[in-house]
Structure 1
Amino acid sequence: MVTYLYWIVVIGLVCVALFGLGMRLGKWKPALVLAAVIAVVGSMAYYFWLQQIFVKRYGGVMSITIPQGLQHIGSTWKDDNLWIEDYNPQTNECIFREYSRGDMLQGRVVLKNCHPIGARPSVPPATATE
């Protein structure tokens, strides 16, 4: 709901710039420039600053795709960044990935020889002989 309200405000500001400057005052060039600036700044503010804040604090919606071949273990918030833990059964590694604002600065931690509880091993354990 907060996300929709945000985009309604941004689109409203674009319309005010277009109709206020363009139609009422007849200054279309400044109106188009101002509308483009408002749209670009509004979009960048959302994707690089507000998206995860809206999701975490106000119940927004965000979709993240787990890479092919990995098993999802868990996720947690650290400040306003989402950390996702996945398990790679082929390499026996646990991978923590940071989904940061704007998907620009990505943290990544790899745990080698990871044996998460409940994960399916890719190679069955050898049977013991007596």
Structure 2
Amino acid sequence: MAIYVYFIALVVIMSVVGFLVFHYARGGKLKRLGKAIGSALLVFAVGWSFWEYYLGNTVARRFGGTLTVELPANAKFLSATWKEDSLWVTYFEPQSKRCVFKEFSRMGLVEGDVVIPNCDPILAHGEQ
């Protein structure tokens, strides 16, 4: 739900910016239209980037929503937990016999990995 509200607000802001630029820009109609469309697309790019790299984790954590995490091929999901606005996912890589705790943080700038070699949680539980 939050994503719909955000993007509807973004479309409204894009429309207002486009209208204002078209109305107050100098030049012929075609030139003003180009400036208005360019300005609206710039607002969209900034708004989408803000959602993708900053708000995605926060909104999913605090207000509900969907956050999709891609695991490496053949990795087996073990668990996930939140630490503030960062999501920590635990998975097992059978080929390398490693357990990995991977952080998915806001903006993706500071993400940590904790790797445990020679880990086999499947055998530890007696499963084959």
User: For residues 117 and 17 of structure 2, what CA distance do their matches in structure 1 show?
Assistant: 55
3-state SS, counterpart of residue 116 of structure 2: strand
> Which of 53, 61, 73 is the aligned partner of 2:58?
53
Equivalent pairs, count = 120
How far apart are residue 113 of structure 1 and its match?
A: 2.2
- Structure with bigger helix share is 2
State TM-score, norm by structure 1. 0.78
The 2-side partners of 1:118 and 1:53 are apart by 34
Counterparts of 1:119 and 1:5, CA distance in 2: 48
Q: Kindly indicate whether residue 117 of structure 2 is the aligned counterpart of residue 112 of structure 1.
A: yes
The unaligned stretches of length 5 or more in structure 1 are 122-130
2:45 to 37, 40, 43: 40
When the two structures are superposed, what TM-score results if normalisation uses the length of structure 2?
Answer: 0.79
| Consecutive unaligned residues in structure 2, runs of 5 or more | none
Q: Which has the larger radius of gyration?
A: 1
- CA RMSD of superposed structures (Å): 2.2
Q: Please state whether the residue corresponding to 2:99 is helix, strand or coil.
A: strand
The ranges of structure 1 where at least 4 consecutive aligned residues each deviate by more than 6 angstroms after the TM superposition are: none
